[in-house]
């Protein structure tokens, strides 16, 4: 048995011997010695001799010219005391396969919606070569790991086989995905892996239900306000173009639009577009409504009128949404620019230092590296396509209802091999990914790992310049929460009357999740084959539903004393999805909405948002004002993250005393409800989700149980309102 302290000395002797024998060569680098195989020491041959262990049966292979050196050598398997001897099999399967079979090396790539359009088109072109008119190169991808992005009718060439990693949600999805293969000659192999969840296991036992089912064409619900808003905005653009616009009226890049806003030039976009709408508002509304031949309801027309006539100060109007979205982009760009200016000042000061420490060059390089990263962020924001901005903001039609998103800005850095100690020698790349807030609240939080584009990065910073640190007060018994104030500190819960409302332990600090960063070295970010599974993190989360009684627009109940069941339509309810930190047995026990659990929160610097990984690992950005100060007040030790939106909802009072005891019944009810919604509206209703909630019964120990059906699109699409008619 080797003693760990002697291992380094043993390797030195082994490497020295291999170098002396001409097998290895050594090179000195800035970080130490590196050994590598000498090319002339390699012996490539097509003549292979097999050797077999006489004790365990292990089979090894060697070049025929070297087999004499292997014969009699110890078995390569650990804990085996046997030796190798020449072995001549009667039939060598692999020898026949490699000599006569059609063997291809796999070049796998990812095809996801996270790729830019240019990257995705280049990947598709290479994958379907030579059918795309491009000669196939040996290194072109011949295997794709894809999300449902390949459903959208993309021509992907001579695809002969595919594997679905789970059973698709519907028959139309199944046919679209399996239909990607065999489009050239009609022959294909399609395999589906059934995961261990009820949906997949059902179709595993009843496969014909998926294979032979009819596909219902999707419908369009014209009462959906979110659909109408997008179509009306697109209609306004069309009518504006018909007036004979110059091609420069709408700048192609977002940077030019933001420049026009800062200059307050009313002849430039978006002011010229807004002026056109204001001048022709009545004609635009009348022309748009005539397209539907009086199929729009009075409520829909009233909604569109408010959407069009609201000013830039009217939240939810076309003007407000356009200006608010552009203003957020402008603030974000100015934040990046101010960071670049601060880094320039730090670089200038660092260069002027007379007494230079041992780490002077390293610190200067880091400043240049971060400056380049932020310059790239400004450039990427300026280069964004203007109409992509409108689509992301939900102001132009898209394939789905866009949900408010959270931005991940990933910064990858690398020092070139021939860097000679000059300042600014770092290479940096920036990648931008956007995730819907519902996914980001669990995927883009501190210390979580994000995988995309063959890389893995760890979230190490929350953008504190886009989000304020807020003091919130939670009710221990119901879902009510509000920003802390002197009035809230003195009374009981305004919803349920809980006396613990004013307790100091119910006051917590939160930040609304809008943007995060991940800074990773090029080497650490690259995915390897060292793990088959990704390591997930699990968090304590709660969806808290809050509303005023005045927003109950309609209600219905079952006329029975034995079965308490009813529902009510909430024209406006506030949903807050709160991430209370990583799950664990330890942490401060906090009771919120009737649930007591450890809520550890996240530890960040309150100034720069850098994630603090441990007690003795203090981290700050290079421009953070707390970088040189050791003050405990600098850190937020139990910070919660949240997302918030206001939408329509239907709240069902469930006739059960305990959800846990009736889980099967509840799931059956949810399935029946979702089926009914799909049949009622036609096609997918993926933007309608369900959650559970409960509230205390006054002066008792009992709690009412509710199922809440809500619209994930902020403001609501009108589906639920129409459902209640």
Confidence of residue 420 (pLDDT cuts 50, 70, 90): very low
Taking the CA atoms of 204, 206, 211 and 216 in sequence, report the sign of the dihedral they define. Answer: negative
Confidence of residue 95 (pLDDT cuts 50, 70, 90): low
Q: State pLDDT tens for residues 500-554.
A: 998 888 999 999 998 899 988 888 888 766 555 667 788 999 999 999 888 898 8
Instruction: Give the whole-number percent of the chain exceeding pLDDT 90.
Output: 14
| Selection from 459, 485, 480 nearest residue 470 by Cα | 485
CA-to-CA distance for 190 and 188, rounded, in angstroms?
6
| Selection from 668, 653, 665 nearest residue 705 by Cα | 653
* pLDDT at 158 exceeding the cut of 80: no
Q: Please answer whether residues 304 and 293 qualify as being in contact, where contact means their C-beta atoms are separated by less than 8 angstroms.
A: no
Least confident range of 257-266, 414-423, 572-581? 414-423
Give me 413's structure tokens: 């850095």
State residue 421's pLDDT score: 44
Task: Give bridge partners of residue 511 from the DSSP assignment.
Answer: 469, 641
Q: Provide CB contacts within 8 A for 244, sequence distance 6+.
A: none
End-to-end CA distance of the chain: give it in Å, rounded: 80
Least confident range of 386-390, 574-578, 653-657? 653-657
Average pLDDT, the chain: 82
State residue 215's pLDDT score: 72
Q: State pLDDT tens for residues 595-641.
A: 888 899 999 998 888 998 766 678 888 888 887 777 778 888 889 99
State residue 512's pLDDT score: 92
Q: State pLDDT tens for residues 263-280.
A: 777 788 888 898 899 899
| Selection from 339, 335, 243, 341 nearest residue 284 by Cα | 243
DSSP string, 67-85: HHHHTTPBPSSTT---BEE
Average pLDDT value for residue range 645-656: 86
Task: Give bridge partners of residue 161 from the DSSP assignment.
Answer: 189
Confidence of residue 660 (pLDDT cuts 50, 70, 90): very low
Give me 319's structure tokens: 């003007």
Average pLDDT value for residue range 441-469: 87
Give this prediction's pTM.
0.72
Q: Provide CB contacts within 8 A for 217, sequence distance 6+.
A: 683
CA-to-CA distance for 518 and 610, rounded, in angstroms?
10
- From residue 604, give the alpha-carbon distance in Å to each of 438, 510, 536, 537: 22, 11, 21, 18
Give me 681's structure tokens: 């509206």
Confidence of residue 157 (pLDDT cuts 50, 70, 90): low
State residue 579's pLDDT score: 94
* pLDDT at 103 exceeding the cut of 90: no
CA-to-CA distance for 57 and 83, rounded, in angstroms?
10
Give me 83's structure tokens: 């030796």
Q: Provide CB contacts within 8 A for 264, sequence distance 6+.
A: none
User: Can you give the length of the chain in residues?
Assistant: 725
State residue 234's pLDDT score: 92
């Amino acid at each position: 048995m080797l003693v760990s302290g002697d291992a380094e000395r043993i390797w030195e002797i082994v490497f020295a011997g291999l170098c002396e024998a001409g097998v290895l060569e050594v090179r000195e680098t800035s970080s130490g010695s590196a050994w590598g195989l000498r090319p002339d020491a390699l012996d490539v041959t097509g003549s292979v001799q097999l050797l077999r262990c006489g004790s365990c049966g292990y089979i090894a292979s060697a070049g025929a010219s070297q087999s004499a050196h292997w014969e009699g050598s110890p078995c390569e398997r650990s804990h085996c005391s046997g030796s190798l001897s020449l072995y001549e099999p009667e039939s060598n399967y692999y020898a026949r396969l490699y000599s006569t079979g059609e063997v291809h090396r796999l070049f796998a790539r990812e095809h996801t919606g996270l790729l830019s359009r240019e990257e995705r088109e280049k990947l598709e072109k290479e994958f379907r070569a030579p059918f795309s008119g491009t000669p196939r190169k040996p290194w072109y991808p011949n295997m794709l790991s894809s999300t449902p992005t390949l459903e959208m009718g993309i021509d992907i060439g001579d695809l002969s086989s595919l594997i679905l990693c789970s059973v698709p949600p519907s028959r139309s999805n199944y046919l679209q995905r399996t239909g990607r293969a065999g489009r050239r000659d009609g022959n294909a192999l399609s395999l589906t892996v059934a995961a261990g969840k009820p949906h997949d296991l059902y179709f595993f036992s009843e496969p014909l239900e998926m294979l032979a089912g009819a596909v219902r064409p999707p419908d369009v619900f014209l009462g959906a306000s979110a659909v109408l808003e997008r179509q009306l905005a697109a209609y306004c653009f069309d009518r504006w173009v018909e007036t004979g616009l110059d091609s420069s009226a709408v700048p192609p890049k977002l940077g030019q639009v933001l420049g026009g806003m800062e200059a307050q030039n009313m002849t430039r976009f978006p002011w010229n577009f807004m002026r056109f709408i204001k001048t022709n508002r009545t004609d635009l509304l009348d022309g748009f409504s005539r397209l539907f031949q009086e199929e729009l309801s009075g409520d829909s027309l009233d909604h569109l009128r408010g959407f069009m006539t609201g000013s830039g100060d009217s939240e939810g109007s076309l003007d407000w949404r356009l200006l608010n979205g552009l203003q957020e982009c402008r603030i974000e760009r100015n934040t990046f620019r101010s960071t670049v200016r601060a880094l320039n000042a730090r670089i200038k000061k660092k260069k002027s230092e007379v007494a230079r420490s041992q780490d002077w060059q390293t610190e200067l390089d880091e400043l240049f590296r971060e400056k380049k990263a932020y310059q790239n962020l400004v450039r990427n924001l300026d280069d964004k396509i203007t109409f992509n901005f409108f689509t992301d903001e939900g102001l132009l039609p898209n394939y789905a209802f866009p949900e408010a998103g959270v931005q991940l800005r990933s910064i990858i850095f690398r020092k070139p091999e021939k860097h000679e100690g000059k300042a600014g020698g770092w290479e940096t790349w920036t990648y931008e990914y956007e995730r819907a807030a519902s996914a980001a609240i669990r995927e883009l939080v501190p210390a979580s790992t994000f995988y995309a584009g063959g890389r893995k990065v760890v979230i190490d910073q929350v953008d504190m310049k886009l989000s304020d640190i807020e003091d919130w007060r939670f009710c221990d018994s119901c879902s009510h929460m509000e920003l802390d104030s002197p009035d809230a500190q003195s009374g009981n819960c305004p919803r349920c009357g809980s006396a613990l409302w004013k307790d100091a332990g119910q006051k917590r600090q939160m930040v609304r999740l809008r943007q995060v960063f991940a800074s990773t070295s090029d080497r650490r970010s690259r995915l390897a084959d060292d793990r088959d599974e990704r390591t997930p993190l699990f968090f304590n989360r709660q969806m808290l539903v809050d509303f005023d009684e005045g927003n109950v627009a309609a209600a219905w109940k079952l006329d029975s004393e034995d079965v308490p069941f009813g529902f009510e339509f909430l024209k406006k309810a506030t949903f807050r999805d709160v991430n209370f930190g990583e799950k664990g047995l330890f942490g401060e026990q906090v009771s919120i909405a009737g649930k007591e659990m450890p809520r550890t929160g996240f530890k960040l610097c309150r100034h720069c948002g850098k994630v603090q990984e441990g007690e003795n690992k203090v981290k700050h950005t290079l421009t953070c004002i707390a970088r040189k100060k050791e003050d405990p007040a600098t850190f937020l030790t139990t910070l919660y993250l949240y997302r918030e939106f206001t939408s329509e909802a239907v709240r069902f009072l469930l006739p059960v005393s305990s959800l846990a005891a009736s889980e099967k019944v509840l799931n059956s009810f949810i399935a029946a409800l979702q089926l009914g919604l799909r049949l009622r509206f036609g096609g997918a209703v993926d933007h309608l989700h369900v959650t559970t909630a409960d509230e205390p019964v006054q002066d008792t120990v009992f709690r009412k149980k509710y199922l809440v059906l809500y619209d994930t699109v902020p403001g609501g699409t009108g589906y639920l309102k129409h459902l209640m008619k």
